[in-house]
Structure 1
Amino acid sequence: MVYAAVAPLYLNACLFSNNTSQNQGGGGGGAQDPNHLEKKPTVTAYKWRLLIAYDGTHFSGWQYQQSPPTIQCLVENALTRTTKLERKDLHLVGASRTDTGVHAWGQVAHFVTPFNYESLESIHAALNGLLPSDIRVREISPVVPEFHARFSAKSKIYHYKIYNDTVIDPFQRHYAYHSLYKLNAVVMREAAKHFIGKHDFSAFVNASHNDRVPDPVKTIFRFDVIEMGALLQLEVEGSGFLYRQVRNMVALLLQIGKEAIPPDIVPKILATRDRKELAKYALSAPPHGLCLVAVKYNKEHLGLPTGCPATSFGRLRSVNYCKLPFY
């Protein structure tokens, strides 16, 4: 591990700050005695962005949990071994808390270290060497202190794949939902348009103990239904998504594609803001067809700070001489 002796990217006041002691008197608004200020040292911290892909088949989603294992748990274990830091010091945060069995090509996370790196290629190789083969770090880059993997996100893109044929391609079985019913992509497209715009999606959210009081109002920028032979790919981009919102929207579109219900049922269910109303027509679509494809950010949040190493996209190994000349 090589550290660079360059200027710090920023002073992370969120981690360590100069705290003043609270006034213990019964009155309010009194000035505090400057001789009793409790000062703590400000510690330099550097923030790093990870772009992660994973096959979620064998994992219990992203959110940290040791058993059964989650993506965040395994990434943190690899980071603690590589950086020699404790989990609490890394402050790893993911952009999306994908559910059990859901995949990702473009999950984004950030973590912090008290030191800088001269090059990110070595830590990049070390992380992928420690992670199981169904989790890969695609990129590592330094980011400005204002960047936050979750709260800085401008939009997220999810794809849901449906294999619409009598016999499923076995190579698609872990990544596409198999529908034996012939689906009408035209009416599914018509119905998907009703999701576009700013709506209260209370009718499309499942209760989750992880969310405190989630804001049910989200904006859907696009919702496309693309035919690729036997595959139907549903692509949705939004400002954010509630727990199982995408899978619930897909489940309703599946029923509409079977022509069991009309496309105009979508605005009617949205208007009720009642999850029980959706349950009359559809249950959540299975998780394995869903993939987090990308998380978008404003350009200013992705700018590289001064005095930082270049983004690592991984490196190819080369052979300088032939080890097996007669092979």
Structure 2
Amino acid sequence: MDQNSEVRLEDAGDGAYEIVGTRSGDRLGRVALTGERVTVEVVPAARRRGVATAALREVSRLTLRDRERLELLIPWDNPIALRVALAAGYTREGIRRGTPELLVYSRLASDSGEPAPRLLPDLPGGELSDGVITLRPLGEGDVDFYTELHSVPDVVATSVPAEPKPADEIRRRCSRAATQWLTGSRADLVIVDTATGLPAGEIDLYYQEPPLAQAMIGYSTLPAYRKRGLTTRAAQLLALWVFAETDIVRLVAGALPTNIGSQRVLEKAGFTREAYQRQRLPGPDGGRLDDVQYVLLAGDLLAQASGAGTSHA
């Protein structure tokens, strides 16, 4: 291990290594190899110090000299473990089905070992704000708010599918939000009314088509916070971050033909109506619903910013 590293590995036999502090000599944790699978455990006092990342990098470097691959199984509710994996050069392979369901990350002998690139980076300072609203990541503490929001009848009616979310799905959505962000598949954010500090709604980014550099947004707002321009502000804030910090080129959004309020939000946020898609969405009772699709490009946002001003609905 690098002589400047704060930790070193000591062979404990049977594919296991003790993680030892270079200067203190303290036992900080343990790395174990079982076939291709790696597990890293660090004592609580050594967490958030880069110990697990340094140990995983080193054991991967040593082990991949004479084998082709290593893998990690990561629980959905453990974003810290996922950050360690990404920093040590592991990339996502898929999902291991079962109870619990686990993310599978691997590193091959041919991989560089450099930190894996992120499709969706962290927000600067952990949030976005324009002084009127703040966007922050959805988290485990948002279950009550999320339950309230997704119990509003018109929010349910415009959801896909258009049905109430079960309590276990809401808990899962909140508990997995941080990990979903790290995987690059989606970013779920709470719209906070800056004046009161209370959650007013949600806005979500779905990065479903990385090869096409296209992502989709969706949003919902509690009735008490509507007609104040908060959702328009949220869409603009999120779009600014998307085009500045990611490789996304096209940002799309859809609205039901009857949802004039949502269409107005998108238009005021700079989106342009692009298509009318017949029977695109699943509807209630097995039916299908039409969808009006809007698109926003980086150039559109720049053009709007250079205009006379922005109005909010």
**TM score, norm. by length of structure 1:** 0.25
Higher Cα radius of gyration? 1
- The TM-score normalised by the length of structure 2 is 0.26
> Whose relative contact order is higher, 1 or 2, with alpha carbons under 8 Å and at least 6 apart?
1
Give the structure with the higher percent helix: 2
